[in-house]
Amino acid sequence: AQSVTQLGSHVSVSEGALVLLRCNYSSSVPPYLFWYVQYPNQGLQLLLKYTTGATLVKGINGFEAEFKKSETSFHLTKPSAHMSDAAEYFCAVSSPRGYSTLTFGKGTMLLVSP
Amino acid sequence: NAGVTQTPKFRVLKTGQSMTLLCAQDMNHEYMYWYRQDPGMGLRLIHYSVGEGTTAKGEVPDGYNVSRLKKQNFLLGLESAAPSQTSVYFCASSPWAGGNYGYTFGSGTRLTVV
């Protein structure tokens, strides 16, 4: 069974500050990992994903995440927050073996203040 | 370039009423999913389909039924709505198994059961 834990239901940063959203996973095999963003009253949009290869992956809107197998983590970062980054962010995991659905974390709401 | 379209976008039901949520995708994706989103719970998988004519139970299937008569459509039914089914429902699709592609999400249906 696979699972995802997102630390912090809410994270507040100032505009221009570093954004760090934490995600830890549990999986019996090296997983596929995803970050999605949800803006108010909208569906989920894929930010970035890790499947194989380079452990540092870059996504849209200046976000990136690093897969660390030893720490079972896939934290999302952005060097400088923008007001438009305010949204809810979801980490998700799936297994590369056989058919696997996405399992989501409970989400982290990012609040950006001027 | 519609992607995944959900109808209706909003609905209010009385306890005991029935309704069907429609999901349509125009990307020729093989796999389709229904999730529900509740505050603090993230997204939980209700049912999914790995191809036309197939359905399977997810994490929280009770009280819901689904059908996939056509590849492009995935219907979610509530036979006797309960207040506990008040939620935002998201449909998603993906082209193949294994989860490395990620999902394309619809914009959601906000359902209130009174």
Tens of pLDDT, residues B46-77: 999 999 999 999 999 999 999 999 999 999 99
- Nearest chain B residue to A98 by CA distance is B98
Query: What is the token pair recorded at B44?
Result: 């939980």
Query: Per-residue pLDDT for A27 more than 90?
Result: no
pLDDT of residue A97: 67
Query: Per-residue pLDDT for A1 more than 80?
Result: no
pLDDT of residue B98: 55
Task: Count CA within 13 A, CB hemisphere, residue B39.
Answer: 3
- Contact between B19 and B86 under an 8 Å Cβ cutoff? The reply is no
Residue A106 with chain B: CB contacts under 8 Å: 40-42
pLDDT of residue B1: 63
Distance from CA of A76 to the nearest CA of B (A): 17
DSSP conformation class of B16? T
- Contact between B34 and B48 under an 8 Å Cβ cutoff? The reply is yes
Query: Per-residue pLDDT for A99 more than 80?
Result: no
- Cα(B40)–Cα(A17) distance, rounded to whole angstroms? 26
| Burial A95-105, CB ≥16 within 10 A → b, else e | beeeebbbbbb
Query: Per-residue pLDDT for A5 more than 70?
Result: yes
Residue B102 with chain A: CB contacts under 8 Å: 34, 46, 49, 102
pLDDT of residue A29: 78
Question: Which residues does chain B have with pLDDT short of 70?
Answer: 1, 97-100
Residue A23 with chain B: CB contacts under 8 Å: none
